[in-house]
Chain A
């Protein structure tokens, strides 16, 4: 069975297709959350945290990765309150979005204690906010074993944002273990064109001014071989060669092996800790599925063809975009 076989019509209908135009450049493409974004075949974006048909499969993958490499989950000591804040915020979000499966009940007023139930995973947990011994694990790892999103928590101090906690198992070509403790501007240092275009600075100013309960979203994208969620810097030896085998392999395989990967990113100011929660949700769709929607195939083709070399390098798609373009021409509906 190929990786592509687990993707269904549903995934196409819910896919956040990331290209509004035939040309892609970096921009601070942020918009308020919670608005439905329509695509030619469906829509996405009504909820900030989304559970879909891949829930159990992706959670199993996350726990496998964490078992192999515990450094994917980090919480610097001063971030403990923010981690609790993030957990509680995510529980509220899930209970509001999926009331048929999840509930959060206040059981004691002070100290604030709750009963959390997640029927999808048979979880029924009573805990006291801030009391480590009332949860089976630290709060961030706990909640991240129940959502498909990766999470980074940014602390605000000295007029800067710092990436001081998070659980990131599905990084696309970066390493949370390397970035933890760095400032927002340091983390974005290596992105080509970002500094010269002042986008990182602008985004930074914007995040610093996010108000409690305000949240914004944006999308990012890349290409991934064989639908692998974990293409982080640490595991490069495991997945790096996939780009070569794709490029050197038969063209027919590209439709099933090459995926468009969209990250839907949410920025949410946490109410109690004043930290900002950055949620990164990864959606994958094989080229063969994209080819069933002529408008998407055509748009993807134009974007890939136009993308400047430095940006393609940074996205890690220098080797794969050629085969992708060729496949879209040969086996897809695209007329160059």
Chain B
């Protein structure tokens, strides 16, 4: 692969951060820790947050932040090289100290539950990364917690840090039988108000969730890491035909219809850009709509003749607008 030193892979968009690689450390075979420093202050973040690392035009990989979260002087991620992947992890493994990288600001999708009386944190392999940041916070706020870290022998990324923070609250297991013989009694005996957090391979997440359900845990107390973010404005590219002028406005995968219209100089009133306020409503004359707003009623959606372009998109390859 080619790797251009000191050249950020994509242009900065609105909230993106430009950061510099501060350190690179091989934690174990195939797993690297990379830290980033910023020219500007890096935002604090919620334990379990991830950042997107942009490694090419329009492509990014999400990685959990593992370092301290209060006005941090650096961000740390751990990346397992995945040679079968699209190339993002290999790109990161080729980074050198001093390289510049574009990242998205931290997003939280796996936050600790404030009212939990006890936290059971389960890490599988590289899924240890958000668990480490949960543990830091649990120690800081004197929360009751315990950790099960399952990894293959030798693949013990971050085990030392975890051990220092957890002491005897950490159990490390190397095979499936050990894992279940440790977890099963926890699932059966846990005090009311215990929350379960799993980050690891999808198979592990599903198996833990199934076992918890079987042991009578309500779904609200079983959490797992998934990189879903807020309202997604992106999607497949499409085009909007403006009925009054006949102009065809292309809408790229990463931009909203509203942005594309404004870019073309079509004045569409707007406020929230989150599909809530109702300002940007436009009349639709043709084409199916992928409604993603919180504004229209179900009836209005069913009519199919109006949409909120700040979040909603065409369901096919074109919509025709009364503009």
Interface residues of A (CB under 8 A from B): 27-32, 78-82, 85, 88, 106, 109-112, 129-130, 155-158, 164, 198, 201-203, 205-206, 209-213, 216, 271-275
Contacts and interface: CB of A to CB of B under 8 A. Distances in A.
B72 to A, nearest CB: 9
Given A27-B277, A82-B114, A157-B115, A211 B230 contact: yes
Contacts of A27: 277-278
Contacts of B114: 78-79, 81-82, 155, 157, 164, 273, 275
Contact of B71 (A79, A112, A203, A210): A112
Nearest to A82: B114
B43 A213 contact: yes
B268 to A, nearest CB: 15
Interface in B207-248: 220, 229-231
A211 B113 CA distance: 17
Contacts of B70: 88, 112, 129, 272
A211 B106 CA distance: 9
Contact of A198 (B43, B45, B297): B297
Given A80-B141, A272-B47, 16 more contacts: A28-B276, A29-B277, A30-B277, A31-B272, A31-B277, A78-B114, A81-B114, A106-B71, A110-B68, A164-B114, A203-B276, A212-B108, A216-B272, A271-B69, A272-B69, A273-B114
Contacts of A155: 114-115
Contact of B272 (A129, A130, A201, A206): A206
B105 interface: yes
A105 B111 CA distance: 28
A297 to B, nearest CB: 27
Interface of B: 15, 43-47, 49, 68-71, 73, 105-108, 111, 113-115, 137, 140-141, 220, 229-231, 271-274, 276-278, 294-295, 297
A201 B278 CA distance: 14
Given A28-B277, A212-B106, A216-B272, A271 B111 contact: no
A164 B47 CA distance: 20
A205 B276 contact: yes
Task: Specify which of A81, A106, A155, A210 lies most central, judged by the most chain B CB atoms within 10 Å of its CB.
Answer: A81
Contacts of B44: 85, 88, 271-272
Given A112-B68, A202-B294, A271-B46, A30 B271 contact: yes
